[in-house]
Each structure stands twice: as C-alpha cells, then as structure tokens.
Amino acid sequence: MNLAIVVNVVIQGVLTGLVYGLMALGLSVIFGVVRVINFAHGEFAVVAMYAAYVLFVTLGFDPILSLFPVAAAFFLIGYALHALLINRFIGRSEHEQFILLVGLAIVIVNGLLMIFGPDARPTNLPYSFDSYLVGPLFVDKARVYAAVGALVVAAALFAFFRYTTTGTAIRACADNRTGAAVVGLNIKRLYALTFGLGLACVGAAGALLVPIADASPLLSQQFTLLAFIIVIVGGLGSMAGALIGGVVIGISEALASLFMAPSIKSMFSFALLVAVLVLRPQGLMGRRI
C-alpha cells in the first residue's frame, strides 16, 4: 500500500480525533469533578450537531463559528440541569445516577427523532470538498478548521482551570470535596458551573462535528461510548489525556477502516479499552490512584 495514503489517513484520524477528544474532555471534566457519569453525553453532542445544523440552514451560520453560541447555550443548559436535577443525585449510588441519565438520554434521542426524523442531515459547506495540498498529501479543509477549533476551546478551558480563581476552586473540589467545603467554597454552585463547562465542551464539539459527520439521532449512543473509551484510554482527570486519547482512538479507527473494514473499526477501540483497563487502569496520561 502506498505510504502517502497511510499518512493521509493517519492525519485525518488525528484531526477527527481532536474533535472527539474535545467531546470526551467534557465527560472527563464532569466525571472528574462532579463524580457523576454523564450517560447522556453523546446525546448532548448530537443535540449540538442539530443546533449547528439548524443555525446553518436558517441563518447560514458557519458550523465552525456556531460553536460559540452553541457552547454558550449548552453552558446554561448544563448549569440549569445540574442545579435543578443532577444536584439531588450527588452522593447517591451509581446505578441511580445511571437510570436518571439514561432516562434523559432516551428522552433526548427520541425527542430528536420526533422533530427531525431518523434520516441523517448532511450539511453542504462551501469548503466541504476543499483540501490543502502539502506535498503528496491532501488534508481536508473542514477537518483542519474543526481540529483547530477543538484545540482553541480546549486551550481556553485549560487556561480557565489553571489561571482563574474559580478554576482553582473547582480543582480544589475535585481534589478534596470536604476540604473545599471546610474552607467555605460553594460546592453546589461550583458543581453546577463544572457541569455547564462540561456541556459547553460537548456543545462546541458537536458544532465542530457538523462538517465531518451528518447529524443523526442514531449517532448518540456511539458517541457516548466513544467518549467513555477516550476518557479511560487517555486517563481520567487528565485534561491533556482526553485530547491524546481522542487522537489515539481517531488514528486507530482510521487505520482499522483502511486496512480492515469500516464496520469493524470500533472493535479496535473496545479492544484498546479492555487492554488499558487491565494493563494501565489509570490511563495513558493519568497518575496512579
């Protein structure tokens, strides 16, 4: 097989993987701080895809730019969702949280199905079929834009957690909840804020996915599982880990599609998940717990 084709496919996998990584970052932040497993994560990603799709069809808004309004709206949704509903489930057992979020996921998927129907909605952008020519390589313009968008959002989130007082407070909650409460931090508000930020990530990722994949309600479960695999592979609680996990999964799926068949690409992701769980449970980038 031609080496250039392989390199092309790998680059595509890296670019797509960065967007997946941003989606998983949202899950990682929520899981790492609030300790709630967001089993409706992929469902939210697909809602964001439809939001970006509607913005494009009605107002002609570019999906890459629509990541800003969509992420802002998702932040508010996440904040409200936590304050009104999820907060009651903090400290309850995992299976109760699971049923709550699975119920929410069922409502979201079928709500989308009622509104938009089961057919995939492609978005034809002016640059959909453009590519950058680098030597023998063709790089999709749409994927480059999406990957850059994902990196920008991830960097902003990273800076927020690293350099702002609120971000530091949230990290304190994640490290030691009781200690954080003792020094007077408003845990409930910070958790709601974190849930909002996690959903903002997923909202941004959903908007960025629109040029790469056609919006369809059927994608949601796949995305939820994908986000979980990425977070575990990359390492829970490591922000860089989510992005790196996304890239690893992106490359492995792209190569599996090339050398084997597209229908079995996720087999490799699941095999990777099992291998990481058994051999390196803290993930590639995580610290040993």
Partner 1 sequence: MTDLWSSIPQRGRVTLLVLIALLLAAPMALDRYLISIFVLIFYYAYVGQAWNLLMGFAGQLSLGHALYAGLGGYVAALLWFYFGIGPWLGVFAAVAVAAMFGAAVGWLGFRFGIEGVYFALLTIAFAEFTRIAFDNMPFTGGAGGLFLLYDAQRSHEWWNLRGGPLLFYYIGLVLAAAAAVLTAWLARSRIGFQWLAVREDQQAALALGIDAFRVKMIAMLISSSMTAIGGVLLTFYYNNLFPTQAFDIGRSIEIILAPIIGGLGTIFGPIVGAFILTPLGEGLIALTGSLGIDAPGAKAVFYGLTLMVIITLRPDGVWPWLKRLLALTEVKS
List residues binding partner 1 (CB under 8 A).
Answer: 37, 85, 88, 92, 94-96, 98-100, 102-107, 109-114, 117-118, 221, 225, 228-229, 232, 261, 263-264, 266-267, 270-271, 273-274, 277-278, 281
Minimal distance, residue 37 CB to partner 1, in Å: 6
**Nearer CB in complex with partner 1: 119/130:** 119
Minimal distance, residue 155 CB to partner 1, in Å: 28
d(Cα 190, Cα 102) in Å, to the nearest integer?
Answer: 24
**Nearer CB in complex with partner 1: 59/95:** 95
Minimal distance, residue 212 CB to partner 1, in Å: 22
Minimal distance, residue 267 CB to partner 1, in Å: 5
**Nearer CB in complex with partner 1: 102/144:** 102
Minimal distance, residue 264 CB to partner 1, in Å: 6
**Nearer CB in complex with partner 1: 166/257:** 257
**Nearer CB in complex with partner 1: 208/273:** 273
**Nearer CB in complex with partner 1: 14/49:** 49
Q: Which of 222, 197, 218, 270 is nearest to 22 (CA)?
A: 197
**Nearer CB in complex with partner 1: 60/91:** 91
Please give the radius of gyration of the chain, using alpha carbons only, rounded to the nearest integer.
Answer: 19
Minimal distance, residue 73 CB to partner 1, in Å: 21
**Cβ(63)–Cβ(248) under 8 Å?**
no
**Cβ(254)–Cβ(12) under 8 Å?**
yes
Minimal distance, residue 20 CB to partner 1, in Å: 17
